[in-house]
Amino acid sequence: MPVSPPIPHDDLIRRRDRAFSPSVKTFPIFPKNPMVLTRGEGAHVFDDAGRRYLDGTAQNLCISLGFAHPLTLEMAGAQLRSMQHCTTLFYNDQQALYAEELIAQMPAGSGDWVVHLVNSGAEAIDLAFTMARVHTRNFEILTLRNAYHGLQMGALGSTAFATCRPPIPPPAGYVSVHHPDQYKGVFGPGVDPYVAEIERTIFAATSGAIAGMIFEPIQGFGGVVPMPPTYLARAADVVRRAGGLVIIDEVQTGFGRMGSHYWGFEAHGVAPDIVVLGKGMGNGLPISGVIVRREIAETFAETRFFNTFGANPVAVAAARSVIIGVREEGLQQNAAARGGQLEAGLHALQAKHALIGDIRGCGLIVGFELVTDRAAKTPATAQGERIQDAMREAGFITVRGTPGRNVFRINPPLCVTEADIAGLLAALDRALADAA
């Protein structure tokens, strides 16, 4: 049932643009011709003209099981009807059950874990940094260049994009390190120089004792840049030798999206101290949090920390539906199969279209980079815009990232079908041919 009567397209755009702060418009997907979305179903969304699209963004990777998923509707709906909020000043069954279910998703024998829930990715990142600082009694946090961990003040210190930074003093205590980009990294391919870079940076730019270092297993916003094999485990050794904790940001990679593993870090043989969660965790409801080693949380418990909406039971019920739905519907396996289909299809297109310079990712977190010259890796920005528009016209919403806006990120809901991916690849084939 619509919440309010339909508003004509242009009128709605005008009214939102007038009443919403212009700062909300700084991440445009279709700045010239914005879309109005009215509803979602499975992996698809519908615009105000009734047109159906495959949502290749999963609304910023927030939809995992799918739109209007019956289990989310049932579990979150039941909780909404019985009690829409219960703060952590009280006890509630959803919070207890979810914490147990989440911990059970950690690799067997990996440690004694506890869960702390908040509301957004950046909030959970801030919580992880504070916990690491309080536990180690060290201050500096190391972060990778090209990382995106959110834009609230603490998280912002670890997000490496000038375009996201206001012209005010940045939060103190964050030091960035060159990221091990195997396609365009400053030290070229390989792992050794990037590990040495962490050691050099700790020596040159910190007190020598750090609070921790944060990693995305695949840098998502930065253009789907995966950490190469062995890097995370070796980096973790360096971080621990400097007294720091290993913080893994699973905001994009968690909950089965990687296909091969439930968590991104599992593909790397690294043991985290704090795992940060968000986005698809609640199948679209706002919830985030950390899974943290008990001893770290116990030190942090010496400090009073409260969050009004953290662990809201409706959001927690939705989050429970994600754990149950991914397991019961085999969605991690689907992410592996559909991701494999997408990657194979992209490689076939790369053989045919010189515009595709590189293909990266794992499962349903996939990116491909468009270049006008494969050797120079020159961003094909204008072609990217044409292809994105043509894809939309064909019924596929995709998003482009990186400063050159030439990396397409394909992250549909985990329920995407074989026919959906085949259709996306066929539309992309046509769009690439036209754009060239």
Ligand X SMILES: Cc1ncc(COP(=O)(O)O)c(C=O)c1O
- Is residue 221 part of the contact set for ligand X (CB under 6 A)? yes
**228 — phi, psi (to 5°)?**
-70, 155
Residue 394 Cα distances to 43, 262, 398, angstroms: 16, 32, 11
Collapsing DSSP states into helix, strand and coil, what is residue 60? helix
Sign of CA dihedral 100, 43, 249, 226: positive
Instruction: Tell me how far, at minimum, the Cβ of 281 lies from ligand X, in Å.
Output: 10
- Is residue 148 part of the contact set for ligand X (CB under 6 A)? yes
CB-nearer residue toward ligand X: 151 or 337: 151
- Is residue 332 part of the contact set for ligand X (CB under 6 A)? no
Assigned token pair, 216? 């995305």
Residue where the block lists tokens 């795992």: 275
DSSP type of residue 67: B
Angle 105-111-115 from CA coordinates, rounded to 5°:
55
Binding residue (CB under 6 A) for ligand X from 149, 179, 392, 405: 149
Please check whether residue 163 is in contact with residue 151, taking contact to mean a CB–CB distance below 8 angstroms.
no
CB-nearer residue toward ligand X: 66 or 220: 220
CB-based closest residue to ligand X: 121
Collapsing DSSP states into helix, strand and coil, what is residue 293? strand
Of 86-94, 104-112, 244-252, 352-360, the segment contacting ligand X by CB under 6 A is 244-252
Instruction: Tell me how far, at minimum, the Cβ of 2 lies from ligand X, in Å.
Output: 27
Binding mask 360-399 for ligand X (x = CB under 6 A): ----------------------------------------
CB-nearer residue toward ligand X: 63 or 355: 63
- Is residue 216 part of the contact set for ligand X (CB under 6 A)? yes
CA separation for the pair 259, 334 (Å, rounded): 7
Could you say which residues in the range 72-131 bind ligand X, by CB under 6 A?
Answer: 120-122, 125
Q: Count residues contacting ligand X (CB under 6 A)? A: 14
Assigned token pair, 56? 């290749």
CA separation for the pair 53, 36 (Å, rounded): 12
- Is residue 420 part of the contact set for ligand X (CB under 6 A)? no
- Is residue 150 part of the contact set for ligand X (CB under 6 A)? yes
Name the residues that contact ligand X, by CB under 6 A: 120-122, 125, 148-150, 216, 220-221, 249, 251-252, 278
